[in-house]
Amino acid sequence: MPLARFSATDANRNLRRNRASMWPDGRLPTERLGELAKLTFKPSFTFSKADRIMTIGSCFAREMEHRLATLGFDLPMKAVVVPPEERATKTENDLISKFTVESMENELVWASGQAPPAPEKLFLEVGEGLWHDPQLVNNVHPASIERVGERRAMVQDAFRQLPSCRIVIITLGLAEAWFDHETGLYLNTAPPLPAINRHPDRFSLDVLDYEDISTALERIYALLKAHGHPDFKVLITVSPVPFKATFTGEDAITANSYSKAVQRAACQAFVARHENVDYFPSFEIVTLSHRELVYERDNVHIGGSTVAYIVDQVLGNYTPDLEFKPAKVATPKTRRANVEDNHLDFFARAKHHFEAEEFDPAAECCRAAIDRFYERMSDREKGSVHSLYGSTLTRLGRWDEAAAQFEVCTRTSPAEAEHWHKLGRAYHRLGRRKDAIAALERAAEISPNDAGVKKSLAKARSALGAVGGARSDGLILGLKRLLGVRPEPESL
Protein backbone atom coordinates (compact mmCIF):
# COMPACT_ATOMS: atom_id res chain seq x y z
CA MET A 1 0.00 0.00 0.00
CA PRO A 2 1.50 3.41 -0.96
CA LEU A 3 2.35 6.00 1.68
CA ALA A 4 0.56 8.68 -0.34
CA ARG A 5 -1.35 8.99 -3.61
CA PHE A 6 -1.66 12.15 -5.75
CA SER A 7 -3.70 12.75 -8.86
CA ALA A 8 -1.70 13.60 -11.98
CA THR A 9 -2.88 17.21 -11.72
CA ASP A 10 -1.86 17.55 -8.08
CA ALA A 11 1.47 15.83 -8.66
CA ASN A 12 2.43 18.28 -11.39
CA ARG A 13 1.13 21.21 -9.36
CA ASN A 14 3.31 20.12 -6.43
CA LEU A 15 6.35 20.10 -8.68
CA ARG A 16 5.70 23.65 -9.89
CA ARG A 17 4.87 25.11 -6.47
CA ASN A 18 8.08 24.19 -4.67
CA ARG A 19 11.43 24.93 -6.31
CA ALA A 20 13.03 22.61 -3.74
CA SER A 21 11.20 19.72 -5.40
CA MET A 22 13.92 19.72 -8.06
CA TRP A 23 17.24 18.09 -7.21
CA PRO A 24 19.96 20.82 -7.15
CA ASP A 25 21.74 20.97 -10.51
CA GLY A 26 25.45 21.64 -10.02
CA ARG A 27 25.55 23.58 -13.30
CA LEU A 28 23.18 26.21 -11.90
CA PRO A 29 23.71 28.80 -9.14
CA THR A 30 22.67 27.13 -5.88
CA GLU A 31 23.83 26.79 -2.29
CA ARG A 32 21.53 23.93 -1.37
CA LEU A 33 24.31 21.36 -1.77
CA GLY A 34 27.27 23.59 -1.07
CA GLU A 35 29.58 23.08 1.89
CA LEU A 36 26.49 23.01 4.12
CA ALA A 37 23.29 21.41 2.84
CA LYS A 38 20.21 23.63 3.06
CA LEU A 39 16.91 21.73 3.14
CA THR A 40 13.29 22.78 3.44
CA PHE A 41 10.46 21.19 5.40
CA LYS A 42 6.89 22.09 6.30
CA PRO A 43 5.90 22.12 9.99
CA SER A 44 2.40 20.94 10.86
CA PHE A 45 2.49 22.51 14.34
CA THR A 46 4.35 25.11 16.41
CA PHE A 47 5.65 25.35 19.96
CA SER A 48 7.25 27.85 22.34
CA LYS A 49 9.34 28.04 25.50
CA ALA A 50 6.15 27.44 27.45
CA ASP A 51 6.16 23.86 26.14
CA ARG A 52 8.29 21.30 27.95
CA ILE A 53 10.28 19.06 25.61
CA MET A 54 10.96 15.35 26.11
CA THR A 55 14.06 14.26 24.21
CA ILE A 56 14.46 10.53 23.52
CA GLY A 57 17.29 9.07 21.50
CA SER A 58 20.96 8.75 20.75
CA CYS A 59 23.92 10.95 21.64
CA PHE A 60 22.78 13.33 18.92
CA ALA A 61 19.70 14.00 21.09
CA ARG A 62 22.02 15.02 23.93
CA GLU A 63 23.66 17.59 21.66
CA MET A 64 20.26 18.93 20.68
CA GLU A 65 19.28 19.20 24.35
CA HIS A 66 22.34 21.32 25.00
CA ARG A 67 21.41 23.82 22.31
CA LEU A 68 17.76 23.97 23.39
CA ALA A 69 18.74 24.43 27.04
CA THR A 70 21.01 27.37 26.20
CA LEU A 71 18.00 29.02 24.53
CA GLY A 72 15.89 28.62 27.65
CA PHE A 73 13.76 25.55 26.93
CA ASP A 74 12.67 23.21 29.74
CA LEU A 75 13.91 19.65 29.19
CA PRO A 76 13.32 17.05 31.93
CA MET A 77 16.18 14.88 30.67
CA LYS A 78 18.67 17.58 31.66
CA ALA A 79 17.85 16.76 35.28
CA VAL A 80 19.59 13.38 34.94
CA VAL A 81 23.13 14.04 36.17
CA VAL A 82 25.85 11.44 36.66
CA PRO A 83 29.05 12.52 38.48
CA PRO A 84 32.25 12.70 36.37
CA GLU A 85 33.90 9.75 38.12
CA GLU A 86 31.09 7.45 36.94
CA ARG A 87 31.10 8.33 33.25
CA ALA A 88 33.52 8.38 30.34
CA THR A 89 32.35 11.62 28.67
CA LYS A 90 31.84 15.23 29.66
CA THR A 91 28.09 15.04 29.03
CA GLU A 92 26.38 14.95 32.43
CA ASN A 93 23.32 13.05 31.20
CA ASP A 94 25.08 10.78 28.72
CA LEU A 95 23.58 7.91 30.70
CA ILE A 96 20.19 8.29 28.98
CA SER A 97 21.28 8.09 25.34
CA LYS A 98 19.01 5.53 23.69
CA PHE A 99 20.18 3.78 20.53
CA THR A 100 17.52 1.17 19.77
CA VAL A 101 13.84 1.88 19.28
CA GLU A 102 12.86 -1.04 21.54
CA SER A 103 14.93 0.29 24.43
CA MET A 104 13.16 3.64 24.02
CA GLU A 105 9.88 1.76 24.19
CA ASN A 106 10.98 -0.05 27.36
CA GLU A 107 11.52 3.24 29.18
CA LEU A 108 8.09 4.53 28.19
CA VAL A 109 6.44 1.28 29.30
CA TRP A 110 8.06 1.57 32.72
CA ALA A 111 7.26 5.28 32.95
CA SER A 112 3.61 4.44 32.35
CA GLY A 113 3.48 2.38 35.55
CA GLN A 114 4.57 -1.13 34.57
CA ALA A 115 7.43 -2.29 36.77
CA PRO A 116 10.72 -3.37 35.13
CA PRO A 117 12.19 -6.78 35.96
CA ALA A 118 13.85 -7.21 39.35
CA PRO A 119 17.36 -5.67 39.54
CA GLU A 120 19.08 -9.07 39.75
CA LYS A 121 17.36 -10.06 36.52
CA LEU A 122 17.44 -6.75 34.62
CA PHE A 123 21.01 -5.76 35.50
CA LEU A 124 24.08 -7.70 34.34
CA GLU A 125 26.85 -8.73 36.70
CA VAL A 126 30.19 -7.81 35.14
CA GLY A 127 32.53 -8.43 38.07
CA GLU A 128 32.65 -9.16 41.74
CA GLY A 129 30.07 -6.77 43.22
CA LEU A 130 29.87 -4.77 39.98
CA TRP A 131 26.74 -4.45 37.83
CA HIS A 132 25.63 -2.82 34.57
CA ASP A 133 22.19 -1.63 33.43
CA PRO A 134 21.89 -2.83 29.79
CA GLN A 135 19.01 -0.43 29.13
CA LEU A 136 21.44 2.48 29.49
CA VAL A 137 24.76 3.28 27.83
CA ASN A 138 27.80 1.04 28.23
CA ASN A 139 30.32 3.83 28.76
CA VAL A 140 29.13 4.51 32.30
CA HIS A 141 31.26 2.68 34.82
CA PRO A 142 29.76 -0.43 36.45
CA ALA A 143 28.89 -0.04 40.11
CA SER A 144 27.25 -1.79 43.03
CA ILE A 145 23.76 -3.09 42.40
CA GLU A 146 22.45 -0.41 44.77
CA ARG A 147 24.10 2.40 42.82
CA VAL A 148 22.97 1.00 39.47
CA GLY A 149 19.47 0.86 40.94
CA GLU A 150 19.73 4.53 41.92
CA ARG A 151 20.67 5.43 38.36
CA ARG A 152 17.69 3.50 37.01
CA ALA A 153 15.35 5.27 39.43
CA MET A 154 16.75 8.64 38.34
CA VAL A 155 16.16 7.80 34.65
CA GLN A 156 12.65 6.53 35.31
CA ASP A 157 11.81 9.71 37.23
CA ALA A 158 12.84 11.76 34.18
CA PHE A 159 10.71 9.66 31.82
CA ARG A 160 7.75 10.00 34.18
CA GLN A 161 7.70 13.70 33.26
CA LEU A 162 6.25 12.66 29.89
CA PRO A 163 2.64 13.79 30.64
CA SER A 164 3.83 17.38 31.08
CA CYS A 165 5.80 17.44 27.81
CA ARG A 166 3.78 18.62 24.84
CA ILE A 167 6.74 18.21 22.48
CA VAL A 168 8.50 14.86 22.11
CA ILE A 169 11.69 14.68 20.05
CA ILE A 170 12.73 11.16 19.01
CA THR A 171 16.12 10.48 17.44
CA LEU A 172 16.54 6.98 16.02
CA GLY A 173 20.01 5.47 16.21
CA LEU A 174 20.72 1.81 15.38
CA ALA A 175 19.03 -1.04 13.55
CA GLU A 176 21.34 -3.59 15.19
CA ALA A 177 19.77 -4.56 18.51
CA TRP A 178 20.84 -7.09 21.15
CA PHE A 179 18.13 -9.31 22.63
CA ASP A 180 18.19 -10.72 26.17
CA HIS A 181 16.48 -14.13 26.11
CA GLU A 182 16.22 -14.24 29.91
CA THR A 183 14.23 -11.01 30.30
CA GLY A 184 12.62 -11.05 26.85
CA LEU A 185 13.79 -7.47 26.32
CA TYR A 186 15.88 -5.74 23.69
CA LEU A 187 18.89 -3.95 25.14
CA ASN A 188 20.12 -0.42 24.50
CA THR A 189 23.67 -1.40 23.52
CA ALA A 190 25.79 -4.53 23.29
CA PRO A 191 26.08 -6.41 26.58
CA PRO A 192 29.54 -6.13 28.19
CA LEU A 193 31.94 -8.96 27.39
CA PRO A 194 32.06 -10.18 31.01
CA ALA A 195 28.29 -10.68 30.87
CA ILE A 196 28.55 -12.53 27.54
CA ASN A 197 31.33 -14.70 28.96
CA ARG A 198 29.22 -15.51 32.02
CA HIS A 199 26.09 -16.26 29.98
CA PRO A 200 27.14 -17.09 26.39
CA ASP A 201 23.66 -18.31 25.39
CA ARG A 202 21.68 -15.49 26.98
CA PHE A 203 22.09 -12.84 24.27
CA SER A 204 21.74 -12.62 20.51
CA LEU A 205 22.12 -9.85 17.94
CA ASP A 206 19.17 -8.99 15.71
CA VAL A 207 19.38 -6.85 12.60
CA LEU A 208 15.97 -5.18 12.62
CA ASP A 209 13.91 -4.85 9.46
CA TYR A 210 11.41 -2.21 8.40
CA GLU A 211 8.49 -4.00 10.04
CA ASP A 212 10.34 -4.33 13.37
CA ILE A 213 11.06 -0.61 13.54
CA SER A 214 7.71 0.50 12.18
CA THR A 215 5.68 -1.58 14.64
CA ALA A 216 7.88 -0.44 17.55
CA LEU A 217 7.21 3.19 16.60
CA GLU A 218 3.48 2.46 16.60
CA ARG A 219 3.73 1.00 20.09
CA ILE A 220 5.59 4.11 21.21
CA TYR A 221 2.87 6.28 19.70
CA ALA A 222 0.21 4.29 21.57
CA LEU A 223 2.10 4.86 24.83
CA LEU A 224 2.36 8.59 24.15
CA LYS A 225 -1.34 8.74 23.39
CA ALA A 226 -2.30 6.79 26.51
CA HIS A 227 0.10 8.37 29.00
CA GLY A 228 1.55 11.51 27.42
CA HIS A 229 0.43 15.11 27.12
CA PRO A 230 -3.16 15.39 25.78
CA ASP A 231 -1.92 17.58 22.93
CA PHE A 232 1.43 15.88 22.31
CA LYS A 233 3.38 16.53 19.11
CA VAL A 234 6.28 14.43 17.86
CA LEU A 235 9.36 15.51 15.97
CA ILE A 236 11.21 12.45 14.74
CA THR A 237 14.56 12.23 12.98
CA VAL A 238 17.36 9.78 12.25
CA SER A 239 20.69 10.46 13.91
CA PRO A 240 23.45 11.27 11.42
CA VAL A 241 25.98 9.69 13.80
CA PRO A 242 27.11 6.34 12.35
CA PHE A 243 27.86 3.39 14.55
CA LYS A 244 31.53 2.82 15.23
CA ALA A 245 31.37 -0.85 14.32
CA THR A 246 28.95 -3.51 13.12
CA PHE A 247 28.68 -6.93 14.76
CA THR A 248 27.47 -8.54 11.51
CA GLY A 249 30.90 -8.98 9.96
CA GLU A 250 29.97 -6.71 7.05
CA ASP A 251 31.70 -3.54 5.95
CA ALA A 252 30.75 -0.94 8.59
CA ILE A 253 29.92 1.65 5.93
CA THR A 254 27.53 -0.67 4.11
CA ALA A 255 25.91 -1.87 7.33
CA ASN A 256 25.48 1.70 8.53
CA SER A 257 23.82 2.64 5.24
CA TYR A 258 21.23 -0.09 5.77
CA SER A 259 20.72 0.92 9.41
CA LYS A 260 20.02 4.54 8.53
CA ALA A 261 17.97 3.76 5.40
CA VAL A 262 15.58 1.33 7.08
CA GLN A 263 14.99 3.71 9.97
CA ARG A 264 14.52 6.64 7.62
CA ALA A 265 11.91 4.65 5.67
CA ALA A 266 10.08 3.72 8.88
CA CYS A 267 10.04 7.41 9.89
CA GLN A 268 8.41 8.41 6.61
CA ALA A 269 5.62 5.89 7.06
CA PHE A 270 5.21 6.88 10.73
CA VAL A 271 4.73 10.52 9.75
CA ALA A 272 2.24 9.58 7.03
CA ARG A 273 0.08 7.71 9.53
CA HIS A 274 -0.18 10.47 12.16
CA GLU A 275 -1.13 14.12 11.77
CA ASN A 276 0.73 15.16 14.92
CA VAL A 277 4.08 13.68 13.85
CA ASP A 278 6.67 15.53 11.73
CA TYR A 279 10.05 14.47 10.39
CA PHE A 280 12.94 16.90 10.31
CA PRO A 281 16.00 16.17 8.16
CA SER A 282 18.98 16.29 10.50
CA PHE A 283 20.33 13.12 8.87
CA GLU A 284 20.12 14.65 5.40
CA ILE A 285 21.60 18.01 6.43
CA VAL A 286 24.70 16.36 7.84
CA THR A 287 25.28 13.58 5.33
CA LEU A 288 24.82 15.89 2.31
CA SER A 289 27.23 18.51 3.68
CA HIS A 290 31.01 18.48 3.39
CA ARG A 291 32.33 15.90 5.83
CA GLU A 292 35.26 18.06 6.93
CA LEU A 293 32.84 20.83 7.89
CA VAL A 294 30.30 18.87 9.92
CA TYR A 295 32.00 15.76 11.32
CA GLU A 296 34.59 15.68 14.07
CA ARG A 297 37.96 14.15 13.32
CA ASP A 298 36.72 10.70 14.36
CA ASN A 299 34.20 10.75 11.45
CA VAL A 300 31.52 9.72 13.95
CA HIS A 301 30.45 12.65 16.09
CA ILE A 302 28.92 15.84 14.74
CA GLY A 303 30.52 19.22 15.36
CA GLY A 304 28.77 21.32 17.98
CA SER A 305 28.14 24.23 15.64
CA THR A 306 26.49 21.89 13.11
CA VAL A 307 24.15 20.54 15.80
CA ALA A 308 23.32 24.11 16.83
CA TYR A 309 22.62 24.97 13.18
CA ILE A 310 20.23 22.01 12.82
CA VAL A 311 18.37 22.90 16.01
CA ASP A 312 18.13 26.48 14.79
CA GLN A 313 16.57 25.25 11.54
CA VAL A 314 13.93 23.48 13.61
CA LEU A 315 13.29 26.50 15.80
CA GLY A 316 13.16 28.86 12.84
CA ASN A 317 10.31 26.80 11.41
CA TYR A 318 8.50 25.62 14.55
CA THR A 319 8.86 28.62 16.90
CA PRO A 320 8.04 31.67 14.75
CA ASP A 321 7.90 34.01 17.76
CA LEU A 322 11.23 32.98 19.27
CA GLU A 323 14.11 35.43 18.91
CA PHE A 324 17.62 34.01 18.94
CA LYS A 325 20.98 34.50 17.30
CA PRO A 326 21.41 31.77 14.66
CA ALA A 327 24.46 29.56 14.98
CA LYS A 328 27.13 29.60 12.30
CA VAL A 329 28.70 26.35 11.23
CA ALA A 330 32.47 26.26 11.60
CA THR A 331 35.04 23.53 11.06
CA PRO A 332 35.02 21.28 14.16
CA LYS A 333 37.86 22.01 16.56
CA THR A 334 39.32 18.54 16.14
CA ARG A 335 39.77 19.15 12.39
CA ARG A 336 41.44 22.52 12.56
CA ALA A 337 44.98 22.84 11.27
CA ASN A 338 46.42 23.91 14.63
CA VAL A 339 44.69 21.21 16.69
CA GLU A 340 46.87 19.31 19.12
CA ASP A 341 46.76 15.52 19.12
CA ASN A 342 45.14 13.90 22.14
CA HIS A 343 45.24 10.46 23.71
CA LEU A 344 42.26 9.25 21.70
CA ASP A 345 44.07 10.11 18.47
CA PHE A 346 47.13 8.14 19.55
CA PHE A 347 44.99 5.24 20.72
CA ALA A 348 43.15 5.13 17.38
CA ARG A 349 46.46 5.08 15.51
CA ALA A 350 47.85 2.39 17.81
CA LYS A 351 44.80 0.20 17.25
CA HIS A 352 45.06 0.70 13.49
CA HIS A 353 48.74 -0.30 13.47
CA PHE A 354 48.04 -3.30 15.71
CA GLU A 355 45.27 -4.61 13.46
CA ALA A 356 47.59 -4.15 10.48
CA GLU A 357 50.26 -6.15 12.39
CA GLU A 358 52.53 -3.11 12.46
CA PHE A 359 53.58 -3.67 16.04
CA ASP A 360 56.52 -1.29 16.41
CA PRO A 361 54.53 1.85 15.45
CA ALA A 362 51.61 0.56 17.51
CA ALA A 363 53.86 0.40 20.57
CA GLU A 364 55.20 3.89 19.85
CA CYS A 365 51.66 5.33 19.71
CA CYS A 366 50.68 3.66 22.99
CA ARG A 367 53.84 4.93 24.65
CA ALA A 368 53.20 8.47 23.35
CA ALA A 369 49.63 8.45 24.67
CA ILE A 370 50.83 7.36 28.12
CA ASP A 371 53.75 9.80 28.23
CA ARG A 372 51.84 12.87 27.03
CA PHE A 373 48.24 12.52 28.17
CA TYR A 374 48.10 10.13 31.11
CA GLU A 375 46.72 12.66 33.57
CA ARG A 376 43.81 13.45 31.24
CA MET A 377 42.67 9.83 30.93
CA SER A 378 39.90 8.17 32.91
CA ASP A 379 40.70 4.87 34.64
CA ARG A 380 38.90 3.02 31.87
CA GLU A 381 40.95 4.79 29.18
CA LYS A 382 44.14 4.03 31.08
CA GLY A 383 43.17 0.38 31.23
CA SER A 384 42.44 0.31 27.50
CA VAL A 385 45.73 1.88 26.43
CA HIS A 386 47.81 -0.29 28.80
CA SER A 387 45.97 -3.38 27.56
CA LEU A 388 46.66 -2.54 23.92
CA TYR A 389 50.26 -1.67 24.74
CA GLY A 390 50.69 -4.98 26.55
CA SER A 391 49.15 -6.93 23.65
CA THR A 392 51.47 -5.14 21.25
CA LEU A 393 54.51 -5.99 23.38
CA THR A 394 53.52 -9.67 23.46
CA ARG A 395 53.52 -9.69 19.66
CA LEU A 396 57.03 -8.24 19.80
CA GLY A 397 58.13 -10.96 22.25
CA ARG A 398 58.76 -8.46 25.05
CA TRP A 399 56.94 -10.46 27.70
CA ASP A 400 58.45 -8.79 30.79
CA GLU A 401 57.28 -5.36 29.60
CA ALA A 402 53.92 -6.78 28.54
CA ALA A 403 53.31 -8.25 31.98
CA ALA A 404 54.05 -4.87 33.54
CA GLN A 405 51.40 -3.26 31.33
CA PHE A 406 48.80 -5.90 32.20
CA GLU A 407 49.57 -5.44 35.90
CA VAL A 408 48.62 -1.78 35.53
CA CYS A 409 45.41 -2.84 33.72
CA THR A 410 44.34 -5.02 36.63
CA ARG A 411 44.84 -2.12 39.01
CA THR A 412 42.94 0.44 36.94
CA SER A 413 40.13 -1.93 35.90
CA PRO A 414 40.14 -4.82 38.40
CA ALA A 415 36.72 -6.09 37.27
CA GLU A 416 37.84 -6.80 33.68
CA ALA A 417 38.47 -10.53 33.28
CA GLU A 418 40.30 -9.88 30.00
CA HIS A 419 43.06 -7.98 31.82
CA TRP A 420 43.61 -10.80 34.31
CA HIS A 421 43.55 -13.32 31.48
CA LYS A 422 46.23 -11.44 29.54
CA LEU A 423 48.32 -11.04 32.69
CA GLY A 424 48.08 -14.76 33.43
CA ARG A 425 49.17 -15.68 29.92
CA ALA A 426 52.13 -13.30 30.17
CA TYR A 427 53.20 -14.80 33.51
CA HIS A 428 52.89 -18.26 31.98
CA ARG A 429 55.24 -17.34 29.12
CA LEU A 430 57.72 -15.96 31.66
CA GLY A 431 57.67 -19.22 33.60
CA ARG A 432 55.95 -17.65 36.60
CA ARG A 433 53.53 -20.57 36.94
CA LYS A 434 52.04 -19.82 40.35
CA ASP A 435 51.53 -16.14 39.48
CA ALA A 436 49.93 -17.21 36.21
CA ILE A 437 47.50 -19.52 38.00
CA ALA A 438 46.58 -16.82 40.53
CA ALA A 439 45.84 -14.29 37.76
CA LEU A 440 43.88 -16.81 35.69
CA GLU A 441 41.88 -17.94 38.72
CA ARG A 442 40.92 -14.30 39.25
CA ALA A 443 39.80 -14.09 35.61
CA ALA A 444 37.76 -17.27 36.09
CA GLU A 445 36.08 -15.79 39.17
CA ILE A 446 34.98 -12.75 37.15
CA SER A 447 33.94 -14.75 34.04
CA PRO A 448 33.36 -18.34 35.15
CA ASN A 449 31.94 -19.40 31.77
CA ASP A 450 34.74 -18.00 29.61
CA ALA A 451 36.10 -20.98 27.66
CA GLY A 452 39.35 -19.17 26.83
CA VAL A 453 40.09 -18.48 30.47
CA LYS A 454 39.33 -22.08 31.41
CA LYS A 455 41.70 -23.36 28.71
CA SER A 456 44.52 -21.03 29.78
CA LEU A 457 44.04 -21.98 33.43
CA ALA A 458 44.13 -25.68 32.62
CA LYS A 459 47.38 -25.21 30.67
CA ALA A 460 48.97 -23.25 33.51
CA ARG A 461 48.00 -25.87 36.09
CA SER A 462 49.21 -28.65 33.82
CA ALA A 463 52.53 -26.88 33.29
CA LEU A 464 52.99 -26.40 37.02
CA GLY A 465 52.27 -30.07 37.60
CA ALA A 466 54.66 -31.09 34.83
CA VAL A 467 57.45 -29.01 36.34
CA GLY A 468 56.86 -30.51 39.76
CA GLY A 469 56.69 -34.02 38.31
CA ALA A 470 59.87 -33.51 36.31
CA ARG A 471 61.72 -32.37 39.42
CA SER A 472 60.51 -35.43 41.37
CA ASP A 473 61.43 -37.81 38.54
CA GLY A 474 64.88 -36.26 38.31
CA LEU A 475 65.47 -36.70 42.03
CA ILE A 476 64.41 -40.39 41.97
CA LEU A 477 66.60 -41.09 38.92
CA GLY A 478 69.58 -39.51 40.65
CA LEU A 479 69.09 -41.66 43.76
CA LYS A 480 68.82 -44.83 41.64
CA ARG A 481 72.08 -44.00 39.88
CA LEU A 482 73.81 -43.47 43.20
CA LEU A 483 72.55 -46.87 44.35
CA GLY A 484 73.57 -48.55 41.08
CA VAL A 485 69.98 -49.37 40.02
CA ARG A 486 69.42 -49.53 36.26
CA PRO A 487 66.38 -47.47 35.15
CA GLU A 488 63.52 -49.39 33.51
CA PRO A 489 62.72 -48.47 29.88
CA GLU A 490 59.74 -46.19 29.36
CA SER A 491 56.61 -47.87 28.02
CA LEU A 492 55.27 -46.64 24.66
CATH of the domain at 379: 1.25.40.10
Parallel, antiparallel, or unpaired for β 130-132 and 167-172? unpaired
**Same domain flag for 352 and 331:** no
Q: Is the pLDDT of residue 415 over 90?
A: no
Q: Can you give the pLDDT at residue 340?
A: 63
Q: Can you give the pLDDT at residue 381?
A: 84
Q: Is the pLDDT of residue 414 over 90?
A: no
In a domain? residue 417: yes
Cβ–Cβ < 8 Å for 325, 311 = no
- Tens of pLDDT along 57-81? 988 888 889 889 999 999 999 999 9
- Tens of pLDDT along 90-102? 788 888 899 999 9
**Residue scoring higher pLDDT (208 or 351):** 208
- Tens of pLDDT along 232-260? 999 999 999 998 899 999 999 999 999 99
**Same domain flag for 57 and 118:** yes
- Tens of pLDDT along 317-376? 999 888 888 888 888 877 776 666 777 788 888 988 898 899 999 999 999 989 988 888
In a domain? residue 2: no
Q: Can you give the pLDDT at residue 491?
A: 33
**Same domain flag for 130 and 232:** yes
- Tens of pLDDT along 422-451? 999 999 999 998 999 999 999 998 888 888
Which range, of 203-217, 257-271, 421-435, averages the lowest pLDDT? Answer: 421-435
Task: Give 30's pLDDT tier (boundaries 50, 70, 90).
Answer: confident
Q: Can you give the pLDDT at residue 479?
A: 46
**Same domain flag for 310 and 459:** no
Task: Give 223's pLDDT tier (boundaries 50, 70, 90).
Answer: very high
- DSSP letter for each residue of 70-123: HTT---GGGG----GGGBSSS-TTGGG---SHHHHHHHHHHHTTPPPPPHHHHS
Q: Mean pLDDT across the stretch 373-381? A: 84
In a domain? residue 406: yes
- Tens of pLDDT along 113-140? 999 999 999 999 988 888 999 999 988 8
- Tens of pLDDT along 288-321? 999 999 998 888 989 989 999 999 999 999 998 8
Domain termination residue (choose one: 301, 317, 335):
335
How many Cα atoms are found within 13 Å in the side-chain-facing hemisphere of 364?
6
CA gap 402, 355 in Å, rounded: 18
Question: Which residues are CB-neighbours of 177 under 8 A, at least 6 positions away?
Answer: 100, 101, 102, 103, 186, 187, 205, 206, 208
Cβ–Cβ < 8 Å for 464, 432 = no
Task: Give 24's pLDDT tier (boundaries 50, 70, 90).
Answer: confident
Question: Which residues are CB-neighbours of 262 under 8 A, at least 6 positions away?
Answer: 175, 208, 209, 210, 213
CA gap 68, 63 in Å, rounded: 9
In a domain? residue 478: no
Q: Give bridge partners of residue 128 from the DSSP assignment.
A: none
Q: Give bridge partners of residue 54 from the DSSP assignment.
A: 168
**Same domain flag for 144 and 255:** yes
In a domain? residue 90: yes
The candidate with the shortest Cα–Cα distance to 275, out of 315, 313, 317, 231, is 231
Q: Is the pLDDT of residue 490 over 50?
A: no
In a domain? residue 448: yes
Specify the number of domains making up the chain: 2
Task: Give 386's pLDDT tier (boundaries 50, 70, 90).
Answer: very high
The DSSP element (H or E) to which 236 belongs, if any, is strand 233-238
Q: Can you give the pLDDT at residue 222?
A: 98
Q: Is the pLDDT of residue 488 over 50?
A: no
* Backbone angle region of 376, left / alpha / beta, with phi > 0 → left and psi within -120 to 50 → alpha: alpha
Q: Can you give the pLDDT at residue 472?
A: 45
Parent domain of 410: 343-470
pTM: 0.80
**Same domain flag for 307 and 381:** no
- Torsion angle in degrees (nearest 10) through CA of 298, 178, 140, 409: -80
Domain termination residue (choose one: 279, 309, 335):
335
Which range, of 144-158, 265-279, 397-411, 469-483, averages the lowest pLDDT? Answer: 469-483
Q: Give bridge partners of residue 237 from the DSSP assignment.
A: 171
**Same domain flag for 260 and 299:** yes
Q: Can you give the pLDDT at residue 154?
A: 95
**Residue scoring higher pLDDT (54 or 85):** 54
**Same domain flag for 443 and 299:** no
Q: Can you give the pLDDT at residue 112?
A: 94
Cβ–Cβ < 8 Å for 406, 422 = yes
Q: Can you give the pLDDT at residue 352?
A: 85
Parallel, antiparallel, or unpaired for β 130-132 and 124-127? antiparallel
The candidate with the shortest Cα–Cα distance to 236, out of 69, 61, 76, 63, is 61
Q: Can you give the pLDDT at residue 484?
A: 53
Q: Can you give the pLDDT at residue 492?
A: 32
The candidate with the shortest Cα–Cα distance to 272, out of 8, 2, 57, is 2
Domain termination residue (choose one: 276, 301, 335):
335
Supply the mean pLDDT for the chain: 88
Instruction: Kindly provide the b/e burial profile for residues 379-389, where b requires at least 16 CB atoms within 10 angstroms of the residue's own CB.
Output: ebbbbbbbbbb
To the nearest whole percent, how much of the chain has pLDDT over 70? Answer: 93
**Same domain flag for 311 and 354:** no
In a domain? residue 477: no
Q: Determine what percent of the chain falls in helix, strand and coil, rounding each to the nearest 5.
A: 55, 10, 35
How many Cα atoms are found within 13 Å in the side-chain-facing hemisphere of 188?
27
Q: Is the pLDDT of residue 452 over 60?
A: yes
CA gap 292, 335 in Å, rounded: 7
**Same domain flag for 355 and 258:** no
- Tens of pLDDT along 167-191? 999 999 999 999 999 999 999 999 9
In a domain? residue 137: yes
CA gap 366, 236 in Å, rounded: 41
**Same domain flag for 358 and 312:** no
For position 65, which CATH number holds? 3.40.50.1110
Residue 169: phi and psi, rounded to 5, are -105, 125
**Same domain flag for 44 and 92:** yes
Q: Can you give the pLDDT at residue 122?
A: 97
